[in-house]
Amino acid sequence: MRGFVYLIVFFSFFDLFSQLPVMSPFALSLGATPFLVGLAVGIYSFSNTIGNIISGFMTDKRGPFLILVLGLFASALSLFLYAFIDGPVSLLGVRFVHGFMEGLIVPAAFTFLANRAEESKRGKSVAISGAFVGLAAIIGPAYGGIVAAKTSTPFIMAVNGGIMMLLAILAFFVLRSFTYVRKLPSKGADNFRVKDLFQHPGMVRAFAGAFFLMFSQGVLALVLPLKVESLGFDTKTTGLLLSTFGVVAILIFLLPINRVFDRVRPVVTLAFGITLMGLSMLFLSQVEELNYLYFAMCIYGAGFAFLFPSINSLLIDSSSPEFRGKAYGYFYAFFSIGVVAGSSVIGFLDLEYRAAFMLTGFILLAVALYALIGLKNESSIDKSSHVL
Instruction: Name which of 192, 222, 254 is nearest 356 in CA terms.
Output: 222
- What's the residue count for the chain? 388
Burial state string for 205-234 with b = 16 or more CB within 10 A and e = fewer than 16 = bbbbbbbbbbbbbbbbebbbbebbeeeebe
Backbone angles phi, psi at 118, to 5 degrees: -65, 135
C-beta of residue 280 within 8 angstroms of C-beta of residue 299: yes
Q: Tell me, what DSSP letter sits at residue 319? A: -
Classify residue 289 as exposed, middle or buried by CB count within 10 Å of its CB (0-12, 13-18, 19+): exposed
- Taking CA 65 as the corner, what is the angle to CA 63 and CA 71, rounded to the nearest 5 degrees? 105
Q: Are 296 and 287 in contact (CB under 8 A)?
A: yes
Amino acid in the structure at residue 313: S
Are residues 309 and 258 in contact, defined by beta-carbon separation less than 8 angstroms? yes
pTM for the full predicted model: 0.78
CA distance 320 to 388: 6
Q: How do the pLDDT tens digits run along the chain, 388 residues long?
A: 778 888 998 999 888 888 877 887 888 889 988 778 778 877 888 898 899 999 988 988 888 889 999 999 999 999 999 999 999 999 999 999 999 999 999 888 888 887 765 555 666 667 787 788 888 878 887 788 778 778 888 999 999 999 999 999 999 988 876 655 444 444 455 556 777 777 788 888 889 999 999 888 878 877 887 788 888 887 677 778 878 888 898 888 888 887 887 788 888 899 999 999 999 999 999 998 999 999 999 999 999 999 988 888 888 888 777 777 888 888 888 888 887 788 778 777 878 888 989 999 999 999 998 888 756 555 544 444 444 5
